[in-house]
Amino acid sequence: MFTMNKELQCLECEKKLEGRSDKRFCDPYCKSAYHYKKSQSEAPKFYVKVQQQLKLNRKILKEYNKAGKATVRASVLLENGFNPNFFTHYWKNKKGDVYLFVFEYGFLKRKENEKEKFVLILWQEYMKTK
């Protein structure tokens, strides 16, 4: 017959556990708190980093494109944390320009007067592919 000599304690609050021998937490709150603290101490997962960058890109594009179309110096967006390598989809116009989109906000890198700029646009209904 197997017996445990060690008294079981909650992994979060260290309160004495009663019940099953494989029980690890005294209640759902302690279980949640333990796993939350553990996740905060680990390095963020790749998809979390991508999601955070997409959210930041969208926020920046929204901030600088209030009228539906705008041209902004690339340095301004990049200084705010914008990363043009993270986008959700693209659209190619009749001239062959490829606009990259972060959800409904699009951007196109251009060089005007020897300065890098981004042309910002909003997604329009006519841009849907057939």
Q: What is the pLDDT of residues 105-114, one digit of tens each?
A: 999 999 988 9
**43 token code pair:** 């390095």
> 53 CB contacts (<8 Å, ≥6 apart)?
83, 86
Predicted TM-score of the model (pTM)? 0.69
H and E: helices and strands count for the chain: 3, 5
Three-state DSSP state, 115: strand
pLDDT band at 6 (very low <50, low <70, confident <90, very high): low
Task: Tally the residues of the chain.
Answer: 130
- Residue 55 CA to residue 58 CA, distance in Å, equals 5
Three-state DSSP state, 12: coil
Q: Is the pLDDT of residue 1 over 50?
A: no
User: Which is higher by pLDDT, 44 or 106?
Assistant: 106
